[in-house]
């Protein structure tokens, strides 16, 4: 099974850890809501608050399961827990009310970190903003914890703040105004950084991150508004935005909902990317049966990959059988290493990689897509390799078959020459000797003369038979004069009229001529012997890079190359030269033998 390995930026979350984290946050949420319920918090608040917090938890859990490598899951789960911290503020329970008020809103810090992390990491320029935001929040917490005294703030019924060691209205109000103003500014700044970064991202990253980044930026706006509201009302005693009921209620819910957009957006993005795993189908289709030529295969696979993964910067480097690395266009290269803009995914096993993918690091956030792609690609490349092997073997078999036919042909020709120049010459020599003996025998020795005449006749017959035999094995005239005269001879000796139409003004390679000759000879024999034809037409044409031979008769048809060994043998001879033999022989409509023989 091909496996993939990739550069991981974070240790992946393990399933037990996911479960423990989720259950812990869930328990915390349950306790918080229960406390709220027994404290008499309004039901609509409890429902809305629990729904908001649990949305974070749900998104975080799904992210931890589906994106174990992404920091988003734990961050969202943590945000959920932090969300419920603030829920203790309005409960009126001693201790937890003050702790809840002091430590509310920290999820905004986590969301800010997540936002910056997803837009290219918390870099040297954004880190101070994040640290400052954390510091401002901490300052606010400290102020709320140690300076706030409910009694002095005009709430005598409120439970006393057990942490208020330095209860001071002025100090509380001052830190509240300063800290919230800072939080407001920093949240806005982080939102702006995120938007600016999004504009400069690769298309892959933009595609997968845009919903989260938009939601994250809106959440930052919400955080800024909340902080501004605190600072403004603390400084002026007036609300920042005064709207009549029920508009002010709606507005408050809208600001609240801005944060919840983040987990929702994350879910949308995650599920959308998961949906893109279906995009592997066109990849598989694009890979298809390609790979006949390694160059071609490389280019088409690369294009299919770029389209499927939506990463125009993607490059495919394949491992060639000779141990070198090849680009898509087949040129040699060294084994590529990743850099800041592109990372390397190994296709196949790390010990014996089939190929390397150089791609946008953002693709790591879409592990299903990348894994699926890697597996499909590994199959395709393996298939391509096997296909190349089969092609090579096929070429070898074809070449060896052509060599066998050529050798057989050369052997026939040698036999023909030996018969003419050897055996036949000797027989002629004997004939001459007989003739001499006959002339010496004179008219006197009647018996001897008769015997010599008989021997001469016998020898003449032997010479004729030998000549026919040699011509059947390989006609010398084909070698000396070419296809036209050789076919004309076949036609003359045929037992039925043969119209010959050989249009050739050149000599062709010996094997091509010989094969064409035997196709015609065999087809003529069939027409005479089996088809009861009255007329045959033979056509020979050179059409571009092949010789077309056609033999057509008006006989009974019904010739079947699968049964007749003659036609079968012809088909073998023709295909051995990478040619094609077609026999069209419907019963009652004559026979048409068509051979296409490539001219090398």
How far apart CA 372 and CA 5 sit, in angstroms, is 13
Of 418, 421, 560, 582, the one binding another protein (CB under 8 A) is 421
Per the CB < 8 A criterion, the answer to whether 130 and 115 are in contact is: no
| Part of the chain binding another protein (CB under 8 A), chosen from 26-34, 194-202, 403-411, 471-479 | 471-479
Q: Which residue lies nearer to another protein by CB, 23 or 454? A: 454
Q: How far is CA 407 from CA 360, 414, 509, 595, 599, in A?
A: 58, 10, 14, 21, 18
Residue 456 contacts another protein per CB under 8 A: yes
Kindly state the smallest distance separating residue 432's Cβ from another protein, in Å. 3
Is residue 298 classed as helix, strand or coil in its secondary structure? helix
Radius of gyration of the chain (CA): 47
Per-residue DSSP letter, 261? H
Strands (E) across 376-508 are located at: 498-503
Residue 412 contacts another protein per CB under 8 A: no
Per-residue DSSP letter, 584? E
The residue written with tokens 């983040």 in the block is 262
Of 203, 248, 292, 436, the one binding another protein (CB under 8 A) is 436
Residue 448 contacts another protein per CB under 8 A: no
Q: Which residue lies nearer to another protein by CB, 193 or 434? A: 434
| Part of the chain binding another protein (CB under 8 A), chosen from 37-45, 85-93, 249-257, 484-492 | 484-492
Per the CB < 8 A criterion, the answer to whether 546 and 579 are in contact is: yes
CA neighbor of 278 nearest in space, from 346, 347, 372? 372
Kindly state the smallest distance separating residue 475's Cβ from another protein, in Å. 9
Of 12, 247, 435, 501, the one binding another protein (CB under 8 A) is 435
Residue 424 contacts another protein per CB under 8 A: yes
DSSP string, 115-179: HHHHTT---TTTHHHHHHHHHHHHHHHHIIIII--TTTTT-TTSPP-TT-TT--HHHHHHHHHHH
> Which residues, 297 to 356, sit near another protein by CB under 8 A?
none
| Part of the chain binding another protein (CB under 8 A), chosen from 52-60, 134-142, 492-500, 565-573 | 492-500
> Which residues, 524 to 583, sit near another protein by CB under 8 A?
535
Q: Which residue lies nearer to another protein by CB, 310 or 555? A: 555
Q: 441-444: list long-range contacts, CB under 8 Å, 24+ apart.
A: none
Residue 501 contacts another protein per CB under 8 A: no
Q: Which residue lies nearer to another protein by CB, 99 or 491? A: 491
Q: Which residue lies nearer to another protein by CB, 283 or 521? A: 521
Per the CB < 8 A criterion, the answer to whether 91 and 35 are in contact is: yes
| Part of the chain binding another protein (CB under 8 A), chosen from 15-23, 76-84, 222-230, 486-494 | 486-494
| Part of the chain binding another protein (CB under 8 A), chosen from 155-163, 218-226, 384-392, 493-501 | 493-501
| Part of the chain binding another protein (CB under 8 A), chosen from 126-134, 172-180, 389-397, 431-439 | 431-439
How far apart CA 426 and CA 439 sit, in angstroms, is 20
| Part of the chain binding another protein (CB under 8 A), chosen from 127-135, 455-463, 569-577, 590-598 | 455-463
Q: 161-169: list long-range contacts, CB under 8 Å, 24+ apart.
A: 161/98, 162/94, 162/95, 162/98, 163/98, 163/102, 164/98
Of 459, 473, 504, 594, the one binding another protein (CB under 8 A) is 459
Residue 116 contacts another protein per CB under 8 A: no
Of 65, 178, 415, 494, the one binding another protein (CB under 8 A) is 494
Q: Going by DSSP bridges, is the β-strand pair 536-543/498-503 parallel, antiparallel, or unpaired?
A: parallel
Q: Which residue lies nearer to another protein by CB, 328 or 553? A: 553
Kindly state the smallest distance separating residue 467's Cβ from another protein, in Å. 6
Q: 126-134: list long-range contacts, CB under 8 Å, 24+ apart.
A: 126/190, 126/193, 129/186, 129/189, 129/190, 129/193, 130/190, 132/182, 132/186, 133/108, 133/109, 133/182, 133/183, 133/186, 133/187, 133/190, 134/109
Residue 440 contacts another protein per CB under 8 A: no
Peptide bond into 246 cis (omega under 30): yes
Of 138, 279, 477, 599, the one binding another protein (CB under 8 A) is 477
Q: Which residue lies nearer to another protein by CB, 171 or 427? A: 427
The 3-class secondary structure across 519-565, one letter per residue, is HHHHHHHHHHHCCCCCCEEEEEEEECCEEEEEEEECCCCCCCCCCCH
Q: Which residue lies nearer to another protein by CB, 537 or 580? A: 537
The residue written with tokens 């603390």 in the block is 234
Of 48, 431, 469, 504, the one binding another protein (CB under 8 A) is 431
The number of residues that bind another protein (CB under 8 A) is 37
Residue 433 contacts another protein per CB under 8 A: yes
| Part of the chain binding another protein (CB under 8 A), chosen from 139-147, 329-337, 417-425, 574-582 | 417-425
The residue written with tokens 């068509």 in the block is 594
Kindly state the smallest distance separating residue 509's Cβ from another protein, in Å. 17
Kindly state the smallest distance separating residue 495's Cβ from another protein, in Å. 7
Q: Which residue lies nearer to another protein by CB, 293 or 456? A: 456
DSSP string, 28-41: HHHHHHHHHHHTT-
- Phi/psi for 271 (5° steps) reads -70, -35
Per-residue DSSP letter, 9? S
CA terminus-to-terminus distance, the chain: 44
Residue 464 contacts another protein per CB under 8 A: yes
Of 62, 85, 280, 434, the one binding another protein (CB under 8 A) is 434
Chain contacts with another protein (rule: CB under 8 A): 420-421, 424-425, 428-429, 431-436, 439, 456, 459-460, 463-464, 467, 476-477, 479-481, 485, 488-489, 491-499, 535
């Amino acid at each position: 099974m091909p496996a993939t390995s990739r550069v991981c930026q974070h240790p992946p979350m393990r399933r037990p850890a996911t479960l423990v984290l989720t259950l812990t946050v869930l328990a915390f949420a349950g306790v918080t809501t229960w406390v709220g319920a027994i404290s008499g918090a309004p039901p609509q608040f409890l429902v809305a608050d629990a729904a908001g917090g649990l949305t974070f938890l749900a998104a975080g859990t799904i992210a931890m399961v589906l994106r174990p490598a992404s920091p988003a899951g734990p961050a969202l789960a943590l945000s959920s827990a932090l969300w419920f911290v603030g829920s203790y503020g309005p409960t009126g329970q001693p201790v937890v009310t003050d702790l809840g008020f002091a430590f509310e809103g920290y999820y905004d810090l986590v969301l800010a970190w997540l936002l910056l992390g997803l837009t290219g990491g918390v870099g040297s320029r954004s880190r101070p903003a994040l640290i400052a935001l954390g510091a401002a929040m901490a300052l606010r917490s400290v102020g709320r914890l140690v300076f706030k005294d409910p009694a002095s703030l005009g709430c005598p019924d409120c439970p006393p703040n057990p942490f208020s060691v330095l209860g001071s209205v002025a100090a509380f109000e001052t830190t509240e105004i300063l800290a919230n103003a800072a939080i407001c500014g920093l949240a806005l700044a982080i939102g702006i950084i995120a938007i600016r970064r999004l504009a400069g991202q690769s298309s892959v990253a933009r595609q997968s991150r845009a919903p989260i980044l938009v939601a994250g930026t809106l959440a930052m706006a919400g955080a800024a508004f909340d902080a501004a509201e605190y600072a403004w009302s603390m400084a002026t005693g007036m609300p920042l935005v005064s709207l009549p009921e029920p508009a002010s209620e709606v507005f408050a819910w809208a600001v609240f909902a801005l944060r919840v957009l983040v987990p929702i957006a994350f879910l949308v993005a995650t599920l959308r990317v998961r949906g893109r795993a279906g995009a592997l189908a066109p990849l598989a289709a694009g890979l298809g049966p390609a790979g006949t030529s390694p160059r071609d295969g490389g280019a088409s696979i690369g294009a299919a990959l770029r389209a499927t993964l939506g990463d125009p910067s993607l490059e495919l480097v394949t491992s060639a059988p000779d141990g070198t690395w090849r680009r898509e266009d087949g040129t040699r290269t060294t084994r590529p290493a990743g850099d800041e803009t592109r990372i390397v995914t190994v296709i196949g096993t790390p010990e014996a990689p089939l190929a390397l993918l150089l791609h946008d690091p953002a693709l790591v956030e879409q592990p299903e897509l990348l894994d699926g792609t890697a597996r499909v690609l590994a199959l395709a490349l393996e298939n391509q390799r096997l296909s190349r092997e089969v092609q090579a073997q096929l070429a070898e078999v074809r070449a060896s078959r052509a060599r066998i036919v050529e050798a057989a042909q050369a052997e026939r020709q040698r036999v023909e020459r030996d018969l003419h120049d050897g055996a036949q010459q000797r027989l002629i020599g004997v004939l001459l000797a007989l003739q001499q003996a006959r002339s010496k025998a004179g008219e006197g020795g009647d018996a001897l003369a008769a015997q010599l005449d008989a021997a001469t006749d016998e020898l003449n017959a032997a010479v004729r038979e030998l000549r026919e035999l040699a011509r059947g094995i390989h006609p010398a005239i084909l070698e000396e004069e070419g296809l036209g005269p050789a076919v004309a001879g076949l036609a003359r000796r045929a037992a039925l009229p043969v119209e010959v139409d050989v249009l050739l003004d050149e000599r062709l390679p010996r094997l091509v001529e010989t094969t064409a000759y035997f196709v015609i000879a065999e087809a003529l024999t069939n027409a005479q012997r089996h088809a009861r034809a009255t007329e045959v037409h033979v056509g020979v044409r050179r059409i571009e890079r092949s010789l077309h031979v056609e033999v057509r008769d008006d006989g009974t048809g019904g010739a079947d190359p699968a049964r007749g060994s003659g036609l079968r043998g012809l088909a073998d001879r023709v295909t051995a030269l990478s040619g094609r033999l077609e026999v069209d022989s419907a019963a009652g409509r004559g026979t048409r033998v068509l051979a296409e023989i490539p001219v090398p």
